[in-house]
């Protein structure tokens, strides 16, 4: 059992924040079991003036791109060829993969991120290395290799008859590890790097095991045009629909250039959207039409999309999400932004046990030190999300266990 005194900020709903200036928080067996105003009792540690927040959720990022943050000088398809594919080829070497996986986990934990959906390279061995690192670092994640067999360097192509058995082996080894802390996701990279056969095999594999699926959708106009032409479909989304990939365990990154019909079908299928505004800005991909997604009640999470995104810090990504909203005439509230970066992300990734600070949920938390003059929730949000030079995290916990601490 652990008892803390702290300041607490947590989303309650998409429209409401909980702010406790002086709170008592009690943890037991990895769960938050008590939260309320401080009542004078002795505590194990006084974390003030730190602010306890739910751990952040990164719904879309690429672990083999950890070392090439900042290289994404768009557009997307040129960047993949110039920077991404050469870097990802190095992950055939599992020693290299292990070095980067450790760095990746450390960057997540030191950013206050406790749960992520991480894409690997095409190499099953590199995905095995990543899952081992995530297990060791104590983080929650959905992860898997990307599936690719078309229109990329031959060293990065793995046909379905080899990729799916390798994925099945990863599922047998890792899916559900440590009471569901780690899960394997089925990740066809995007339509342009997959054959019809591979997309269908991916859809069938996810269905067989009840797994989450993730891929990119409609990130650039050029990608949409090539997808429609190559697969002979009416629109981009249909490529994934016919492969059985679009359902309520599907997390789609970007979703920028979609028709009304595609938005309606996404909403009807109950997919979740991984909004990646910083990546969209850096690659010049466009602005996600946030009103179209919200009007239809789509579940929205945010993704750093490292390395097209320029930061592992989800608060930094929420700042970009705010800017993206303004460009669409939508002023996002602090509650909405924090929801997307925590509870919304947790629900999108099928982790209802986390994403908020409230009794009964798992103690996936981070501790942020705002500047000393900050005294209220608005000030914390301003400092956390919008002051890019503000101090960063002090400590991060998953299930009440410290996974990173500023030394
Ligand atoms: Zn991506």
What's the gap in Å between 62 CA and the centre of ligand 1? 6
pLDDT in the model for residue 90:
96
- Residues 322 and 395 placed together within one structural domain of the fold: no
- Residues 143 and 282 placed together within one structural domain of the fold: yes
- Residues 184 and 69 placed together within one structural domain of the fold: yes
- Residues 29 and 143 placed together within one structural domain of the fold: no
Average pLDDT over residues 38-56: 97
CATH of the domain at 377: 2.30.40.10
What's the gap in Å between 22 CA and the centre of ligand 1? 40
What's the gap in Å between 41 CA and the centre of ligand 1? 47
| In the chain, % of residues over pLDDT 70 | 100
What's the gap in Å between 253 CA and the centre of ligand 1? 7
- Residues 390 and 266 placed together within one structural domain of the fold: no
- Residues 141 and 205 placed together within one structural domain of the fold: yes
pLDDT in the model for residue 190:
97
What's the gap in Å between 17 CA and the centre of ligand 1? 30
- Give the domain-ending residue among 348, 370, 387: 348
- Chain segment 16-39, per-residue pLDDT in tens: 999 999 999 999 999 999 999 999
Q: Supply the range of the domain harboring residue 369.
A: 2-54+356-405
- Residues 201 and 317 placed together within one structural domain of the fold: yes
**pTM for this prediction:** 0.98
What's the gap in Å between 275 CA and the centre of ligand 1? 10
- Chain segment 239-273, per-residue pLDDT in tens: 999 999 999 999 999 999 999 999 999 999 999 99
**Cα(160)–Cα(200) distance, integer angstroms:** 9
State the helix-helix crossing angle for 124-137 and 94-110, rounded to 10 degrees: 40
What sections of 9-123 are H helices per DSSP?
A: 76-79, 85-89, 94-110
**Through-space distance between the first and last CA atoms of the chain, rounded to whole angstroms:** 24
- Residues 241 and 341 placed together within one structural domain of the fold: yes
- Residues 267 and 323 placed together within one structural domain of the fold: yes
Neighbours of 29 (CB within 10 A): 10
Residues 105-137: b if buried by 16+ CB within 10 A, e if exposed: bbbbbbbbbbbbbbbbbbbbbbbbbbbbbbbeb
pLDDT in the model for residue 391:
75
The encoded tokens of residue 107 equal 């960057």
Average pLDDT over residues 189-214: 98
- Residues 167 and 204 placed together within one structural domain of the fold: yes
Strands 393-398 and 401-405, bridge-based pairing:
antiparallel
- Residues 334 and 386 placed together within one structural domain of the fold: no
List, as ranges, residues with CB under 5 A of the ion ligand 1: 305
CATH of the domain at 186: 3.20.20.140
Strands 365-368 and 299-302, bridge-based pairing:
unpaired
pLDDT in the model for residue 401:
98
| C-alpha angle 264-270-276 in degrees, rounded to nearest 5 | 85
Residue in the structure block whose two tokens are 């594999």: 205
**Closest residue by Cα to residue 303 from 254, 356, 355, 365:** 254
**Closest residue by Cα to residue 280 from 321, 312, 316:** 321
The answer to whether residues 355 and 343 touch, using CB atoms and an 8 Å cutoff, is: yes
Q: State the total domains in the chain.
A: 2
- Give the domain-ending residue among 326, 348, 370: 348
What's the gap in Å between 61 CA and the centre of ligand 1? 6
- Residues 221 and 255 placed together within one structural domain of the fold: yes
What's the gap in Å between 3 CA and the centre of ligand 1? 39
What's the gap in Å between 386 CA and the centre of ligand 1? 24
- Chain segment 71-94, per-residue pLDDT in tens: 877 799 998 998 999 999 999 999
């Amino acid at each position: 059992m652990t008892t803390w005194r702290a300041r607490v900020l947590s989303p309650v709903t998409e429209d409401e924040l909980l702010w406790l200036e002086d709170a008592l928080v009690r943890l037991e067996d990895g769960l938050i079991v008590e939260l309320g105003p401080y009542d004078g009792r002795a505590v194990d540690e006084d974390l003030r003036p730190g602010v306890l927040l739910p751990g952040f959720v990164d719904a879309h990022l690429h672990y083999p791109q950890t070392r090439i943050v900042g290289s994404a000088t768009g557009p997307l398809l040129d960047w993949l060829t110039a920077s991404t594919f050469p870097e990802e080829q190095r992950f055939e070497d599992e020693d290299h993969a292990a070095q980067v996986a450790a760095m990746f986990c450390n960057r997540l934990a030191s950013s206050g991120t406790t749960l992520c959906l991480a894409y690997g390279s095409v190499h099953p061995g590199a995905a095995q290395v990543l899952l081992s690192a995530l297990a060791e670092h104590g983080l929650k994640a959905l992860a898997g290799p990307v599936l690719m067999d078309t229109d990329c360097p031959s060293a990065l192509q793995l046909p379905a008859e080899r990729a799916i058995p390798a994925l099945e082996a990863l599922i047998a080894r890792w899916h559900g590890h440590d009471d569901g802390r780690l899960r394997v996701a089925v990740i066809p990279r995007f339509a342009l790097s997959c054959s019809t056969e591979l997309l269908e095999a991916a859809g069938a594999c996810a269905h067989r095991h009840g797994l989450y699926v993730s891929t990119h959708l409609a990130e650039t106009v050029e990608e949409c045009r090539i997808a429609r032409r190559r697969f002979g479909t009416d629109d981009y989304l249909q490529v994934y629909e016919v492969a059985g990939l679009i359902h309520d365990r599907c997390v789609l990154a970007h979703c920028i250039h979609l028709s009304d019909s595609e938005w309606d079908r996404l909403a009807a299928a109950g997919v979740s959207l991984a909004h990646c505004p910083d990546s969209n800005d850096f690659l010049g991909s466009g602005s996600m039409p946030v009103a179209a997604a919200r009007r239809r009640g789509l579940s929205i999470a945010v993704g750093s999309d490292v390395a097209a995104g320029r930061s592992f810090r989800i608060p930094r990504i929420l700042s970009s999400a705010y800017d993206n909203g303004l460009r669409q005439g939508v002023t996002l509230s602090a509650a909405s932004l924090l929801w997307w970066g925590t509870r919304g992300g947790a629900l999108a990734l099928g982790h209802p046990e986390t994403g908020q600070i409230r009794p009964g949920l798992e103690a996936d938390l981070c501790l942020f030190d705002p500047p000393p003059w900050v005294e209220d929730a608005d000030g914390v949000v301003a400092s956390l999300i919008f002051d890019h030079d503000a101090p960063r995290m002090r400590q991060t916990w998953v299930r009440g266990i410290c996974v990173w601490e500023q030394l």
